[in-house]
Amino acid sequence: MIRALPLNNYSIVLTPQRGGVYALYTIESKIYKLFYIGQTNNLLNEISGHLMVSESNPCIRNKILKYQCGFSYKEIPDQSERNRIESILIQRNNPACNIN
């Protein structure tokens, strides 16, 4: 089972302001469905940005408005390692909201 935190302002404040890779999920009947994978040099700012009205990815915005969502992350300080891991995870999982 995925250890995901609820995607809300209360849970996000516990997220570190460090680099890492993260995933966003919808949660329906205890079933987690991955819809986005991202990487950033500031997990707190990036993940909280997805809750903003100004979210630029319409797919992410629609999922967050329509479903209960969660997120998970892994701290990874090295930028090249984050890029590599993000790319592998996107290729393997093909998340619905990762737009090329």
Question: What pLDDT digit, counting tens, does each position of 32-44 carry?
Answer: 999 999 999 999 9
Query: Domain with 39 in it: what CATH number?
Result: 3.40.1440.10
Question: What pLDDT digit, counting tens, does each position of 75-88 carry?
Answer: 999 999 999 999 99
Q: What is the Cα–Cα distance from 83 to 100, expressed in whole angstroms?
A: 15
Q: What is the Cα–Cα distance from 35 to 90, expressed in whole angstroms?
A: 10
**pLDDT of res. 99:** 82
Flag whether 75 is in a domain. yes
What global pTM score does this model have? Answer: 0.94
How many domains in the chain?
Answer: 1
Flag whether 98 is in a domain. no
Q: What is the Cα–Cα distance from 23 to 71, expressed in whole angstroms?
A: 6
Flag whether 99 is in a domain. no
Strands (E), the chain: 5-6, 20-28, 31-40, 68-75
Flag whether 42 is in a domain. yes
Question: What pLDDT digit, counting tens, does each position of 35-74 carry?
Answer: 999 999 999 999 999 999 899 999 999 999 999 999 999 9
